[in-house]
Copies of this chain bind each other. A is one copy, B any other.
Amino acid sequence: MSRDYSLGEIATHLTAQLRGNPETRITGLNSLKNASAGQLSFLSNPKYASQLGNCNAEAVMLTAEQAETYTGDCLILADPYLGYAKLSSWFDPAPQRSVGIHPSAVVHPSALVKDDVYLGPNVVVEAGAVLASGCQIEANSFIGARAILGEHCHISANVTLCHGIVLGDYVRVHSGTVIGADGFGFAPDEAGGYQKIHQIGSVEIGNNVEIGACSTIDRGALENTIIGNGVIVDNHVQIAHNVVIGDNSALAAFSGLAGSATLGANCTLAGAACVVGHISICDNVVLTARTLATKSITVPGVYSSSVTSALPSLEWRKNAARMGQLDSMARRLKDLEKQQK
């Protein structure tokens, strides 16, 4: 697992200006505070600039301005945080997969699996599925019938990709996630129960999408659920049937969209932010943590509906109890104002 690169090759990779010895060996990445000899660090948040003085890193990624006052070795680039991100794959400890199909994998003869694909132990690939070049499917994952995976998709262990779903290129799906399960569709029947609506649609996911662990993206009722390019999805996210999400939106943990909701491009759902069904959120909207959008939003901006902070419970309870009196309070206040005049 030892990884070892020269500062020079790192500078070339990041198109950064190098100040220092290009032969210096870099064996790891770390924060300014914890970096030690042989490690490369970076300054992303200006409030940590004071840590530069005591930093033991072998070299630091800095902006030109930050580098002026720093005397150690450094890589100078426009966005050190982005530089760190771009370099991070070089130090990723995840196992490198070799090409090939593990003997315990079960691949239907009608599936089209490119020669350079990796299929781990107990992977199941059903009839008519298509796995394009460079796909890696980790152990115990399931690829349903006629599912189509673009190039270089990486599917972690214990993932379920249901029949007929379509992934673009470079899609990353983490463990426990389920793509293409039935949407939650039922019609009330004559007997007071529910008649299942079979979900005939599918799921279409664009390129460069990453989906975290234990998340769900349901197949559409009639048409498809659609996720744009570059969308990033955290853990425990719920994307219901017929949701449409625009490019480069980000969905944090426990966020969700109910059926047929539309989320624009470049949106952010912070943790546990949710959107009810059949409404539309325009491009460039942020919903802060635990906000619930119950009406369509047509103006870009940051929206909230959650309390600002926790209070000691005894104090909070006195206030919360008044919430059920708010309308009365508002009316009484208005009455007083009238009398005042």
Does A166 count as interface, using CB distance less than 8 angstroms? no
Residues from chain B with a CB closer than 8 A to the CB of A250 are 186, 194
Residues from chain B with a CB closer than 8 A to the CB of A138 are 142
Instruction: State in angstroms the CA–CA spacing of A314 and B324 once bound together.
Output: 11
Instruction: State in angstroms the CA–CA spacing of A158 and B199 once bound together.
Output: 19
Contact partner of A329 (CB less than 8 A), chosen from B29, B234, B304, B330, is B330
Nearest Cβ on chain B to A54's Cβ, whole angstroms = 17
- In the complex, which of the residues A145, A293, A310, A315 has the most CB atoms of chain B within 10 Å of its own CB atom? A310
Q: Are B271 and A274 in contact (CB under 8 A)?
A: yes
Instruction: State in angstroms the CA–CA spacing of A318 and B202 once bound together.
Output: 40
Q: Are A252 and B304 in contact (CB under 8 A)?
A: no
Could you tell me which residues of chain A, from 191 to 221, have a CB within 8 Å of some CB in chain B? 192-200, 202, 208, 210, 212-216, 218
Contact partner of A238 (CB less than 8 A), chosen from B139, B235, B317, is B235
Residues from chain B with a CB closer than 8 A to the CB of A146 are 1, 93
Contact partner of A320 (CB less than 8 A), chosen from B140, B240, B307, is B307
Q: Known contacts A198-B88, A198-B89; is A176 also within 8 Å of B126 by CB?
A: no
Q: Are B292 and A307 in contact (CB under 8 A)?
A: yes
Nearest Cβ on chain B to A231's Cβ, whole angstroms = 9
Per-position contact with B for A22-61: 1 when CB-CB < 8 Å, else 0? Answer: 0000001111001000000000000000000000000000
List chain A positions with a Cβ less than 8 A from chain B.
1, 28-31, 34, 79, 81-82, 84-86, 88-89, 91-95, 102, 104, 106, 120-122, 124, 126-127, 138-142, 144-146, 156-160, 162-164, 172, 174-178, 181-182, 184-190, 192-200, 202, 208, 210, 212-216, 218, 222-223, 229-230, 232, 234-236, 238, 240, 247-248, 250, 252-254, 256, 258, 266, 271-272, 274, 276, 286-295, 297, 301-327, 329-330, 332-333, 336-337, 339-340
- A-B contact sample (20 more), CB < 8 A, given A253-B258, A276-B289, A307-B320: A79-B187, A86-B195, A93-B146, A93-B202, A121-B122, A174-B178, A238-B254, A240-B253, A274-B290, A287-B310, A293-B309, A303-B310, A303-B316, A306-B307, A308-B317, A320-B326, A322-B330, A323-B323, A329-B330, A333-B336
Show 18 A/B contacts (Cβ-Cβ < 8 Å), sorted by A: A82-B190, A86-B195, A88-B198, A140-B142, A160-B213, A186-B232, A193-B248, A254-B274, A256-B272, A271-B276, A272-B274, A302-B312, A302-B314, A304-B310, A304-B316, A305-B310, A329-B333, A332-B337
